[in-house]
Amino acid sequence: MFTHTVNCPYCNQVITHNWAEYITDSDIIDPDYGMGLETEHTIECNDFECPNCKKIFRVCGSVFEYPEGVYNDHELHTKN
């Protein structure tokens, strides 16, 4: 559920990574959405190293789970 791609902001390398270890918060967005809970997991990584160019950058955003235990959507952004 937490493995997604981002592009390095320096060399544009496509990087696939499991971001689960960088979850800083998990909030229930709507507890009565019809099929169960919708949860937003906040991702914050301030020191990710690109495996290609070795430069350090930031990855932040959210991964959404709905219904419980099922990937729904994600919004991840990189910043140098």
Query: DSSP E strands: which ranges in the chain?
Result: 3-7, 14-18, 23-30, 38-49, 56-65, 71-79
Q: Determine the pLDDT at residue 30.
A: 73
Q: How confident is the model over 20-41, as pLDDT tens digits?
A: 999 999 999 876 768 888 999 9
58, with CB counted inside 10 A (0-12, 13-18, 19+), is middle
Q: Determine the pLDDT at residue 35.
A: 87
Tokens for 62, please give them.
């959210």
Per-residue pLDDT in tens (0 to 9) along the chain, 80 residues = 999 999 999 999 999 999 999 999 999 987 676 888 899 999 999 999 999 999 999 999 999 999 989 999 999 999 99
23 vs 76: CA distance, rounded Å: 12
- Which percentage of the chain shows pLDDT scores above 70? 96
Average pLDDT, the chain: 95
Tokens for 6, please give them.
């981002």
- Tell me the residue length of the chain: 80
Q: Determine the pLDDT at residue 3.
A: 97
